[in-house]
Amino acid sequence: MSVIYQRVALIGLGLIASSMAHAMREAGIAGSVAGHAKSEATRKAALEIGFCDEVFATATDAVKDADLVVLAVPVGAMAAIAAEIGPHLKPGACVSDVGSVKQAVIEAVAPHIPEGVDFVPAHPLAGTEHSGPHSGFASLFRNRWCLLTPTPQSRPEAVAQLRAFWEGMGANVDEMDAPHHDLVLAVVSHTPHLIAFTMVGVADHLRRVSNSEVIKYSASGFRDFTRIAASDPTMWRDVFLTNKEATLDILGRFTEELFMLQRAIRMEDGEQLHAYFTRTRAIRRGIIDAGQDTAAPDFGRVAAAGGATALKGKE
């Protein structure tokens, strides 16, 4: 595959950015990769692993001469980063991001993008419960969706180039407006994460069940909540604060469904419970049919060396 961007700058060097760098190298779609992270340890790791050609202590140095700049930092940090790098962006460059909230990112970043630079927000729906520069791998985005949410100012050619870039890393690409993205993600990601955090919190506070019992018998379902709840706390704090309206909307709908199920259980309405579980089971089958998960036992977990279990989840 030919080079799509001669120089790519990654601001933030965690799971998503490091995976992007590995995928870019594997596909040959970037001439060079520059990186920036606040932590000196992270910068050192990026160089040692070798997924960046150059690593800089400041974001302004990293974006110099970059054709594509990707903001891979928590949503709450994007406004400050955008303000810092804005005056140093190359004319004709494209700025994008990987945040899981889009309207708040547009409001934070767009005011700092100078004329002659495109801003095309993006969100790859991929991830694991691991974080940091050592956690990235080239196949993370393969057959996963990346959602682009162009602004009215995004030039069509810039959007098309970014689409080709994500497709080059193996992703399926779709476009939608930012408010709709935030509502969709509240359903498929944000509220499920909040429920998982809550269920783990319930277990922690339920004194009649010991911690040893929770861990010992976790394979019965609790284990899968804990995988989701192991996600980065800073990122999820920012997600819920910046996608508040959509998350509260879906959480309210979830509460109504929960009340309905509570009543069915209390009234011993087995017919309603069976019908409800049959409908929801069909959604799981649809996800497998769409290639977004595997039907293998144990939720697709694969045995790692030494008998341990490697957990690979999606955001």
Mean pLDDT confidence for 239-267: 90
Dist. CA 157–CA 67, nearest whole Å: 14
Asked whether residue 124 carries a pLDDT value surpassing 50, the answer given is yes
Which pLDDT score is estimated for 303? 43
pLDDT digits (tens, 9 = 90+) for 140-179: 999 999 999 999 999 999 999 999 999 999 999 999 999 9
Nearest to 74 by CA among 139, 144, 17: 17
Is the pLDDT score of 194 beyond 70? yes
Average per-residue pLDDT in the chain? 87
Where in the chain are the domains?
Answer: 5-176, 180-310
Confidence band of 223 (pLDDT split at 50, 70, 90): confident
* pTM, full prediction: 0.80
Domain covering 180-310: architecture: Orthogonal Bundle (1.10)
Comparing C-alpha atoms, which of 66, 56, 57, 69 is closest to residue 10?
A: 69
Report the number of secondary-structure helices (H) and strands (E) in the chain.
13, 11
> Cβ–Cβ contacts within 10 Å for residue 63, how many?
26
Sheet holding 30-36, edge to edge: 54-56, 30-36, 5-11, 68-71, 94-97, 118-119
Look at residue 1 in the predicted model and tell me its pLDDT. Answer: 77
Which of the listed CATH numbers 3.40.50.920, 3.40.50.720, 2.60.40.740, 3.60.21.70 matches domain 5-176? Answer: 3.40.50.720
For residue 259, give the amino acid letter: F
